[in-house]
Amino acid sequence: DSKRRVRNGWQAFTPALALAQQERLRVETQLRRAVENGEFHLVYQPQVDLHRGRIVAAEALIRWHNQHLGEMRPDRFIGHAETTGDIVRIGGWVLREACRQARAWRDAGLGVVRIAVNVSYRQFLGDDLADSVRALLQEFDLPGAALELEFTERVLIEDAPDTLRTFAELRALGVLLTIDDFGEGYSALNYLRRLPIHGLKLSQLFLEGVPHNKSDVAVCQAVSGIARSLGLGLVAEGVESEAQRQFLLQLGVPVGQGFLFAPGLPPDEFALRLEQAGTEATP
Ligand code: C2E
Ligand code: MG
Ligand code: MG
Ligand code: MG
């Protein structure tokens, strides 16, 4: 622990820094036992066909309720969990819970909807991700296409020796592979040719300024052009307004996700939406 703290070099002591370290210690301490204490749950945000409004998939988003810290949004703890390595266990829990939910919705005859799960770069470094996904699909009797994995460009930057093999194995299982927050990180276009991925998610960072901000519009156009010419799917995230939906339709982006349609929903509310809006047929 102390080794990790000095790795970033010497830092002047300031009250703000002390506060940040205190918060970090509190979060890290509580995180350690959060899985076994059953403190996590998932909410599901619909991904919607922008033309007809039908639900094509659900993104599973983690929520943490801790008795000392209250409700913690992922942006406040995922980074810490990645630093400590707890994310590997937490991410394993998320995958299992998403598969359990997918099975439950199928058994309830609610239509078949793919669940997208966020996967940390640390899960690519640790235990064999493809093996655990294969085992979960078997356990819950799901086809690979029931599951989509979203990962960020960080996975490619860390460039673990087995990353390409892991991607290939996941793809062979039929699992969909998507680059999340595309354009936010260090988008190196060379990996797009090498990786067996299915799609990109346009970062909401760029959608924010649409349709007023010229450079945001240009970035959205560029990303949609990249996706189209590489034959990749494209999902726009952070769709909040009708104007943004119209812009995306004109751009030819087929699928969107955002508060215009719904935030992350508890499973029963999501199921209700499924019944109302209908689904695209997914294997
Ligand atoms: P993300 O994967 O890019 O997820 C989208 C985030 O944007 C979610 O925040 C979602 O609630 C929010 N969002 C959706 N629609 C809108 C919109 O129209 N406007 C705005 N302003 N925001 C919108 P959330 O749930 O707080 O998650 C934040 C990030 O935490 C995620 O970003 C993802 O990187 C990470 N995360 C969430 N769940 C998991 C998980 O199970 N495992 C891992 N490793 N990371 C997770
Ligand atoms: Mg995501
Ligand atoms: Mg995203
Ligand atoms: Mg994001």
Coil, strand or helix: which one is 6?
Answer: helix
| Residue nearest (by alpha carbon) to ligand 1 atom 14 | 258
By the 10 Å C-beta count (0-12 exposed, 13-18 middle, 19+ buried), 182 is classed as buried
Ligand 1 binding pocket, CB closer than 6 Å: 45, 61-62, 73-75, 78, 91, 94, 118, 120, 150, 180-181, 204, 237-240, 257-259, 263-264
The one-character DSSP state at 76 is: G
Q: What is the pTM of this model?
A: 0.92
* ipTM for the whole complex: 0.97
Along the 283 residues of the chain, how does pLDDT read in single tens digits?
444 455 556 666 678 888 888 889 999 999 999 999 999 999 999 999 999 999 999 999 999 999 999 999 999 999 999 999 999 999 999 999 999 999 999 999 887 789 999 999 999 887 699 999 999 999 999 999 999 999 998 888 887 778 889 999 999 999 999 999 998 877 677 788 888 999 999 999 999 999 999 999 999 999 999 999 999 999 999 999 999 999 999 999 999 999 999 999 999 999 999 988 766 544 3
Q: How far apart are CA 68 and CA 226, in angstroms?
A: 45
- 239 CA distance to ligand 4 middle (Å): 12
